[in-house]
Amino acid sequence: MGYALAFSVVAGILAGMVVVTAGQVLGAMKLTAAADVVNAIIGIASYVASMLGYSTIYQGTVKFTLWRSGMESIELEGADALDRVKAEGTPSSAVGEGLADALNVGGF
């Protein structure tokens, strides 16, 4: 909650500065119709930026912590079988028909 509160304060200050600056610039130009459009764009951009910020905070604090605790508690059995794995490819033609077959091009 502390990170979200700090983010909210900083985002609010920045959004306020942008709105005041845009209002002064458009007010000096006497463009009231443009001011409504600019304010709507600023509002949408602020919403998107704040939701991305909150999502990042959630991913970094909640999900990463759960993932880390899950990974620390995992035990692998039979991990020595991974040493015996061999990756072997099959030859394909020069025109890349293997890729076309993998993507199911041609319906067959």
50-107 tens-digit pLDDT: 999 999 999 988 888 888 888 888 888 888 888 888 877 766 666 666 666 677 776 6
- Report residue 59 as tokens: 């991913």
How many CA atoms does the CB half-sphere of 5 hold within 13 Å?
2
The pLDDT of residue 93 is 64
CA dihedral (60, 10, 23, 43) in degrees, to 10, reads: 30
13 to 20, 65, 73: CA distances (angstroms): 11, 30, 42
pLDDT tens-digit map of 17-51: 988 888 888 777 777 777 778 888 888 999 999 99
Q: Is the pTM of this model over 0.85?
A: no
Per the CB < 8 A criterion, the answer to whether 106 and 100 are in contact is yes
What pLDDT is attached to residue 89?
A: 72
Q: What is the 3-state secondary structure (H, E, C) of 23-55?
A: HHHHHHHCCHHHHHHHHHHHHHHHHHHHHHHHH
pLDDT for res 79? 83
Mean of the pLDDT values across residues 3-9?
Answer: 92
